[in-house]
A and B are shown apart, each in its own frame.
Chain A
Amino acid sequence: MSATFSRIQSKWDTYLWQGFCYLLMILISVATVVPFLFMFSTSLTQSFTMMSYPPTLLPDNPSLNNYWEIIFNFQKGLFPRWFFNTLFTTLCITVGSLLLNTLAGYIFAKKEFYGKHLLFSLLLATMMVPGAVTLIPAFLIINKLQLFNTYWALILPALASPFGIFMMRQFISSLPSELIEVSKIDGASELRIFWSIIIPLSLPGMAALGIFTVINAWNSFLWPLVVLRANTMRTLVVGLATIQSEYHPEYGLIMAGSVLTVLPLLVLYVLFQPYFVEGLRMGYGK
């Protein structure tokens, strides 16, 4: 009798505890996401109302006027140009770096050669070098190569990354080595093995790395700020940061631009959700 009672009681304790956990998580989720709703709601305000007080999640007369303004009227189509710059460089970086990082990850995962372990540690160590140290000389290198104010200035340094190589090495290490051996016996060349066996098998890992690469390339700030000075060469994020200081537009305009900047990432994030968490785990090496 008392045993049954205590079981019921402990069951209720579990429900209560789980209810509490859900409540807590809902509160935390709301707190993390609500600020972005302010971005959305401000973007819908009429241009002439600066800000509403008290803050509301839905403005009184929602309008898409700010979107129209920033896409078609702002500085003779500067915003679409920024969008294109960002899209183009992000695509080049993602495709190029996926290939190079996967190739390097494969070599570090499956091949034996002199100096491999030292080289790999050295690669990982470069992750610790702060941007403040590399910024100025990297800028001068780009200048020397005459790439200042070109897309290459953004693309070239991002074509390989120690993090990407590390992640792909983790992923490819877990693939069976027998497949490679078998195709070697069949007489396939090394590059053929890489292209028609390793790449297809690594696609889940590449998807995970790819989404990180896209987010990083799309969002990077300090480097494009330094190497792309021409107005028409800017990326979205740098453009948005300079709108404020150079053109003094309304807040709603910036927020409309921000929503348009975030939208592609948001779609990607929702679509690639499973790969994303997997990627973080791979990066951590568990």
Chain B
Amino acid sequence: MSATSTVQATPRAIPTNHVHRRRWRKLRETLFWYLLLSPSLLIIFGFSIVPMVWSIYYSLTKGGILSKHAFVGLQNYTKAAQHPIFLLTLKNTTLYAVLTIPIVIVLALIVALVIIQLPRMQGFFRSTVYFPLIIPIVIAANIWAYIVSRDFGPLNLFLGWFGIPRIDWLGDPFWAIPAIVMMEIWRGFGFYVIILIAALQSIPRELYEAARIDGARSLRLLWNITIPLLRPALGFCFIMATIFNFQLFDPIYVLTQGGPAWATSTVSWYVYQQAFEADNLGFASTMGVVLLLIILVLSLIQLRFFRSDIEY
């Protein structure tokens, strides 16, 4: 629409001009708000979407951080599909997620259900279970390295009481992943506890009372009322847990540096290693893009699965 005609419109203008003027005003306001939003948008998109597109381009090239990038088409992707170490890191990443996510959420659900039963000190227990999350992962990992250490660690001492021989948790390819999973559970479950408590508190009490009058027992109440009503919150927890756990990096860096012999490497770790230590930018970007696709697909599936029709 032409701006001049709107500007020339008199106060007693015909309706079409009125509409024009309103549109012009909204356009002007839109520009104003975009101007105010521009620093935030520039930073967020500049450090997420722009790098993402850039990564997709890099995944089709070959070269290091400072060298020229030759276009190689899908060569990196066909390489990735048969690359034994990448496939191993992919398997490891999945294993971390599959071991961690169900345990951490079931544990959080149980703890949340226990906490809301308490007549007092709910706030105190909420803060203690959340506490590990305010500690830097690097420090938590250092502490964990001590706890699971073969010779001095309290964990082996504890297991020794039951006659279980000492395990070299982080040095043994079989036990290293479970040791890191245990740490992730210990560190992470408080986050889901807080979310689930918030969701539990929003369930109306009348629902339970009505069901109790109908003679339902506690476990039935849990299964037939609580769990279905928690579905959106549980969905949120599962999606967040998927996003977190498929990007595991910090504990690997501190605890094992991916070893022994790649046994604990995750995709994120291998991307870092290939980009900044092996200077293999194209291939690193390819792996990053594959990880992006996996997280995207899993999130969409979960969104679909946890979509709830129940209103309360």
Contact = CB atoms under 8 A, between A and B. Distances in A.
Interface in A1-50: 17-18, 21-22, 24-25, 28-29, 31-33, 35-36, 38-39, 42
Contact of B296 (A107, A128, A165, A286): A128
B138 A113 contact: no
A65 interface: no
Interface stretch (A66-74, A98-106, A179-187): A98-106
Contacts of A138: 47, 51
A24 B115 CA distance: 10
Contacts of A244: 142
A241 B254 contact: yes
B238 interface: no
A151 interface: no
Contact of B157 (A33, A54, A128, A237): A54
Contact of B291 (A38, A133, A190): A133
Nearest to B183: A35
A128 B37 contact: no
B5 interface: no
Interface stretch (A75-83, A154-162, A197-205): A154-162
A240 interface: yes
A32 B249 contact: no
Given A53-B151, A141-B51, A251-B146, A132 B186 contact: no
Interface residues of A, number: 86
Contact of A128 (B33, B123, B194, B299): B299
Contacts of A161: 44
A176 interface: no
A117 B251 CA distance: 37
Interface in A223-243: 225-226, 236-238, 240-241
Contact of B26 (A18, A55, A112, A219): A112
A280 interface: yes
Interface residues of B, number: 94
Closest 8 CB pairs of A and B: A137-B51, A137-B54, A160-B40, A113-B30, A134-B51, A219-B136, A126-B48, A133-B288
30 contacts: A25-B115, A29-B125, A29-B128, A32-B128, A32-B132, A42-B146, A104-B36, A126-B49, A128-B243, A128-B296, A130-B268, A130-B288, A131-B247, A131-B268, A135-B272, A136-B281, A136-B284, A137-B54, A157-B47, A159-B43, A165-B40, A218-B136, A219-B134, A221-B138, A221-B249, A258-B139, A266-B134, A276-B130, A277-B123, A284-B199
Interface of B: 26-27, 29-30, 32-34, 36-37, 39-41, 43-52, 54-55, 58, 65, 111, 114-115, 117-119, 121, 123, 125-132, 134-140, 142-144, 146-147, 149, 151-154, 157, 186, 190-191, 194-195, 198-199, 202, 233, 236, 243, 246-247, 249-250, 253-254, 267-268, 271-272, 275-276, 281, 284-285, 287-289, 291-292, 295-296, 299
Given A17-B117, A35-B144, 10 more contacts: A21-B114, A31-B186, A126-B45, A134-B52, A134-B55, A135-B271, A141-B50, A240-B138, A273-B123, A277-B194
